[in-house]
Structure 1
Amino acid sequence: MAASSRDEQQPWFLSLLGLAENFRTSNPPNIRLCIHCLQAIFTFKPPPKIEARTHLQLGNILLTHTKNIELARTHLEKAWQISSTLTSNDDVLFESASVLAKLYETQHHISLAKPILHRAIEMSQQAPYWHCRLLFQLAQIFALEKDTLSACSLLGVGAEFARASTSHYTRILFLLAKGMLLLIDKKMREVEETLPKVGGLIEEFQGSPVHKESLKVFFLVLQVCHYLMSGQVKSVKPALKQLQQSIQTITQIHTDDEPLSTNPVDLFQWLPKEHMCVLVYLVTVMHSMQAGYMDKAQKYTDKALMQIEKLKMLDCHPLLSSFQLMLLEHIVMCRLIMGNKSVALQEIFQACHVCQQQPRLFTTHGAQIHMLLGLYAMSMNCMEAAEAQFKLASKLTTALDLRNFVNLNLAIVYLRTSRQADLTSLMDKIEPEKMETHSHSLKAASYFVQGLQAFFQARYNEAKRYLRETLKMSNAEDLNRLTSCSLVLLGHIFLSLGNNREALNMVTPAMQLAGKIPDVHVQLWASSLLKDLYRSCGDSANEAEGYRLHTNFSQSLLKDHFQSSQMSEHGIIQWTDGPCPFHLSTPVNSNTML
């Protein structure tokens, strides 16, 4: 609450401001008296500059310490109206524009936020820090509206402004933000053009070590995500290793020893170090999940969720909720693969609770939650519910790859329920050559589904052709789960054809690979085939071992199946409309999930 101009040196103003600050910083803070002191300033009929500043201070305090959002909005609107008519453009003008626009955004009044930010950007040419900050803010609003073109245009303007202001750091920050939006929008060709150029600028960067490393982490996160979105699990490993090394380097840099830049345009931070650490855990989980390393995914999820819990105690930043939700989405899929459906069900509810705290997340992640419910319902053999959830997920999303993933699973539902007509109408969308995707892993999965369909129709030679293509693609990028599924299905085909030796050559490595993942469903399938194979070969010792393994996997899955079906949470598979049925959820301490 600093005072600076001659008008602001008035004794009555300084006294009231000092009292207000004393009440605000006392322990515990007395916000009511702080507000009274600031309101008292208006009784002196202060000059416009002081009046605008006081309205801004009141707006900020009401937003931070009270639930009186409408009164806060009134004060912020007055601060903006008054300061925007003054000849001197100072922090009050730009801060009131920024805070008011943010408030409008949270109230879903984007049409009110954008004109204010546009005007403030025009007026801030001589205030470099605010000019860049407001450009970032408006670009973020366009990004939320999925207007990537406008957002990227603003970030390009910001990059040029930062270059003209000799801020290489913030220029690279703008370019990385642009690269991130292009990646989200799946503009892969433009991403592949942008990232190498930015990588070169980072290598040439001569600024502070902490700035350089934070830019490097941002760049490597984008590079890793680009590979993962393309389903290139093997190709990503060098970049992921580099990212993990970079995050270790940045956590060891003491920022207190860092010389402060004198350029106001450098005063930006992409993410705090602690948030970067969580993000690196998250992309590691994404990689482990795609590669089929469920134990590793589980380990890093636990670490990340514990870190998020600690950070939320200090500052419940919305970004932490987004990270938490994405981690839960991945760990739910891991639990289902590992045969822990009851835990997966609780974690789906936990994901819904995270969305409840940040309602915008229900809009951005609703499709993913219904997709998870579809996978859970399918694992419980509730095929009608699975179909309904998958169809809703497909309807809610605009993301092509999520829709492709949903369609592949929907095809398996139709295969398992012998709904040939529905399957035929879907197959056009998931044919490898016709599927709209940049993802290597999704194309490989589509060959597997084609092979599965041919197997169900006893077209064994055709099935083998599709599955060999799946194996070729999955081996090229270490897609272990897809490899194990393809091997066991090939083994089943050879067994059906009476070729026991080839069947054994397929099923044995499938069983070993499934054990490493671990994928209980493939292990159950493979142990059943091994039991039959050894019996037909007259190998009674191995047949008994196969029978023992099959019994163990079967009993474990049946026990979990029964436990899940008895949980009140199981009823969520019927949720396709209205608010989440939280009344079905048993209260769970989030720490018990770690």
Structure 2
Amino acid sequence: MATVVAVVPQYNEAWYLSLLGFAENFRTASPPKIKLCVHCLQAIFQFKPGPRIEARTHLQLGSVLYHHTKNIELARSHLEQAWLQSQQIPSFEDVKFEAASLLAELYCQQETNRTTTLNLVDSAKPLLRKAIQISQQTPYWHCRLLFQLAQLHTLEKDLISASDLLGVGAEYARVVGSEYTRVLFLLSKALLLLMERKLQEVHPILSLCGTLVEGWQGNPIQKESLRIFFLVLQVTHYLDAGQMKSVKPCLKQLQQSIQTISTLHDDEILPSNPADLFHWLPKEHMCVLVYLVTVMHSMQAGYLEKTQKYTDKALMQIEKLKILDPSPILSSFQVMLLEHIIMCRLVTGHKALALQEISQACQLCQHLPRLFSTHAAQLHTLLGLYSVSVNCMDSAEAQFTTALRLTTHQELWTYIVTNLASVYIREGNRHQDLYTLLERINPDHNFPVSSHCLRAAAFYIRGLLSFFQGRYNEAKRFLRETLKMSNAEDLNRLTACSLVLLGHIFYSLGNHRESNNMVVPAMQLASKIPDVSVQLWSSALLRDLNKACGNTMEAHEAAQMHQNFSQQLLRDHIEACSMPEHNLINWTEGQFPVQYQTQNGPTTSLSSLL
């Protein structure tokens, strides 16, 4: 927030400067004395100030009340007066547009008041449109207000309007000679197009941005931040497509860029073009984001030790940053990191720890209403995966069904359906529901998404069903397709699962040699990940294989391994099921159950609502 004091030549009255000085002193005291700061600013009105001082004081009061108190109605009143009065004063752009921007933000922050939400948000949009219309001669504010209105449309899931505004901003920035901000607008538009899955429109924009970024000769930090934004979009595009191997060169460039920008010192010289006075993210936030996309890649590829390592680093960084800056985007990063580490825990056989982290993620979202609305489907999906891990299949079905009801995201929907199909296969008594699901994720034709990883998983599900039905040749065909696809993109967990299932099929057919050729590499890969469930399955097969082949010593060793994995999983199973949070598997409606909320909320800073 801007400081209260604003020394402007025409405001040279001693009483005014004195009151501003006192107000700023109280605001910056430790701890801040906001009540006294407000009293000083209110005292200015007793002197019957001129219109400029009056309008600026209303802005300052509104800002202080909005940022430091819960008296939002009074803050709103002062900001509305600042906006109305400043429009009648010539050459008063800083107050006029700051009042409009802050007032629109306040309207949207009152969204949790359900009785007035629609009216307030609907008030923010025409306010911003008018401010945009009259700010065309003020490049900084014109661009900032365009970004703000585009963000509002994005939050309302009106991505078309948001994308159009960002296109307008890019053209405006080009006209006023700001290549830096033009690229910011274009990359922001590319982000929305990726969210809409309009890939044909994304590719030319990203290609143009790549050329502009490399050719731009400006502030090194600004250039590197644009490169990081560009690379993040490229990496997430590959990850959405399930291409874990293809993304590696881009991911490596991204990791190099974050190291480069971390060594650069901030340039205190302001850009000569006011339209360049923007930045995408602070360097510290970019660092967390790079950790996050690295975690996403590691989890999907099956590098679970890397997943753990980079999640720990990112969460530690977030906790440090939140002490000084409780930014909503940090909470978004935190929830996504928790979602990935929870999946990692379930694979590595740490269900109790996963359950604690599911509860933490739920509490974090519960304290941030908009975050809860955007992540509710993911939370129920995680509870579904946990339910599967503790063999509560009815709860798993209920959680996955709830998640399907809450999501419109095609990749997430396909992932949930794939897991729900595996539940039906294991239950063995839901044939019609199962076949309906399988038709909707048929990897041979009309697959709903372009994800290489999800399509490979769909082939695995087909193979699993054929195995349970005793159609072994058909199962082998599907699983070989999964292996081909997973090997092409280093999808290690799918490879391990496919190998052990093929090994089971060959064992059932009496082909012990071929079974051994499948199970041994499956065990090696599962140990490397490590995937405890596949290790349990592989060790049981190795025990039976060696027993059938008369390899007594090897059979004994495999039996001992199987017993060790069984005991490890059983201990963890008992611990998880005895925790009060285990009852979350029954939560399928409404907000996070209050009985599972800790007294002080999650162990994160929650003072800033998303």
Give me the TM-score of the superposition, normalised by structure 1: 0.97
1:76 and 1:468 map into 2 onto residues whose CA distance is: 65
Structure 1: state its 5+ residue gaps: none
* Matched residue, 1:172: 183
Kept in 2, the 8 Å contact 1:404–1:442? The answer is: yes
Aligned-partner residue type, residue 37 of structure 2: C
* Matched residue, 2:46: 43
* Matched residue, 1:313: 323
Kept in 1, the 8 Å contact 2:5–2:24? The answer is: no
Q: CA deviation at 1:43?
A: 2.1
2:6 and 2:332 map into 1 onto residues whose CA distance is: 38
Q: CA deviation at 1:332?
A: 0.3
* Matched residue, 2:76: 73
* Matched residue, 1:462: 474
Which residues of 2 match residues 298-337 of structure 1 at below 5 A? Answer: 298-337=308-347
Which residues of 2 match residues 395-544 of structure 1 at below 5 A? Answer: 395-418=405-428, 419-432=430-443, 433-544=445-556
* Matched residue, 2:376: 366
2:476 and 2:26 map into 1 onto residues whose CA distance is: 76
Kept in 1, the 8 Å contact 2:363–2:602? The answer is: no
Is 2:294 the partner of 1:291?
no
Structure 2: state its 5+ residue gaps: 112-119, 605-610
1:547 and 1:122 map into 2 onto residues whose CA distance is: 75
2:276 and 2:531 map into 1 onto residues whose CA distance is: 49
**Cα deviations by residue, 1:170-226 (Å, 9 ceiling, x for unpaired):** 111111111111112221222222111110111101111111111111111111000
TM-aligned CA distance change 1:356 to 1:589, over 3 Å: closer
Is 2:258 the partner of 1:255?
no
1:549 and 1:125 map into 2 onto residues whose CA distance is: 71
Kept in 2, the 8 Å contact 1:208–1:259? The answer is: no
2:238 and 2:230 map into 1 onto residues whose CA distance is: 13
Is 2:223 the partner of 1:220?
no
Kept in 2, the 8 Å contact 1:168–1:205? The answer is: yes
**Cα deviations by residue, 1:48-88 (Å, 9 ceiling, x for unpaired):** 22221111100111112211111111111111122123333
Q: More displaced, 512-521 or 60-69?
A: 60-69
Kept in 2, the 8 Å contact 1:167–1:265? The answer is: yes
Q: CA deviation at 1:415?
A: 0.6
- Please state whether the residue corresponding to 1:107 is helix, strand or coil: helix
* Matched residue, 1:52: 55
- Please state whether the residue corresponding to 1:207 is helix, strand or coil: coil
Match of 1:128 among 131, 135, 139: 139
Aligned-partner residue type, residue 371 of structure 1: T
- Please state whether the residue corresponding to 1:336 is helix, strand or coil: helix
* Matched residue, 2:366: 356
1:199 and 1:147 map into 2 onto residues whose CA distance is: 27
Is 2:28 the partner of 1:17?
no
- Please state whether the residue corresponding to 1:366 is helix, strand or coil: helix
- Please state whether the residue corresponding to 2:243 is helix, strand or coil: coil
2:57 and 2:269 map into 1 onto residues whose CA distance is: 34
Q: More displaced, 139-148 or 27-36?
A: 27-36
Q: CA deviation at 1:21?
A: 2.1
1:438 and 1:548 map into 2 onto residues whose CA distance is: 43
- Please state whether the residue corresponding to 1:9 is helix, strand or coil: coil
1:22 and 1:325 map into 2 onto residues whose CA distance is: 37
Match of 2:557 among 529, 545, 563: 545
* Matched residue, 1:569: 581
1:320 and 1:187 map into 2 onto residues whose CA distance is: 27
- Please state whether the residue corresponding to 2:137 is helix, strand or coil: coil
RMSD (CA atoms): 1.5
Q: More displaced, 12-21 or 300-309?
A: 12-21
Is 2:222 the partner of 1:231?
no
Aligned-partner residue type, residue 59 of structure 2: L
Aligned-partner residue type, residue 163 of structure 2: C
1:28 and 1:550 map into 2 onto residues whose CA distance is: 60
Which residues of 2 match residues 92-111 of structure 1 at below 5 A? Answer: 92-108=95-111, 109-111=120-122
Kept in 2, the 8 Å contact 1:484–1:511? The answer is: yes
2:304 and 2:214 map into 1 onto residues whose CA distance is: 35
* Matched residue, 1:387: 397
* Matched residue, 2:572: 560
Give me the TM-score of the superposition, normalised by structure 2: 0.94
- Please state whether the residue corresponding to 1:557 is helix, strand or coil: helix
Q: CA deviation at 1:530?
A: 0.7
* Matched residue, 2:90: 87
Is 2:34 the partner of 1:31?
yes
> Comparing both chains, which one has the higher relative contact order based on Cα–Cα distances under 8 Å and sequence gaps of 6 or more?
2
- Please state whether the residue corresponding to 1:8 is helix, strand or coil: coil
Kept in 2, the 8 Å contact 1:7–1:50? The answer is: no
**Cα deviations by residue, 1:472-494 (Å, 9 ceiling, x for unpaired):** 11011000000000011111111
Kept in 1, the 8 Å contact 2:366–2:591? The answer is: no
1:119 and 1:301 map into 2 onto residues whose CA distance is: 44
Match of 2:257 among 246, 249, 252: 246
Aligned-partner residue type, residue 308 of structure 2: Q
1:252 and 1:6 map into 2 onto residues whose CA distance is: 40
Match of 2:214 among 181, 203, 215: 203
2:371 and 2:25 map into 1 onto residues whose CA distance is: 38
Aligned residue pairs: how many?
590
Match of 2:11 among 8, 11, 24: 8
Q: CA deviation at 1:385?
A: 0.8
- Please state whether the residue corresponding to 1:235 is helix, strand or coil: coil
2:54 and 2:315 map into 1 onto residues whose CA distance is: 45
Q: More displaced, 140-149 or 375-384?
A: 140-149
TM-aligned CA distance change 1:134 to 1:589, over 3 Å: closer
Kept in 1, the 8 Å contact 2:52–2:86? The answer is: yes
Percent of paired sites with the same residue: 63
TM-aligned CA distance change 1:585 to 1:343, over 3 Å: farther
Q: CA deviation at 1:259?
A: 4.2
Q: More displaced, 421-430 or 231-240?
A: 421-430
* Matched residue, 2:115: none
Match of 1:184 among 192, 195, 206: 195
Q: CA deviation at 1:589?
A: 7.9
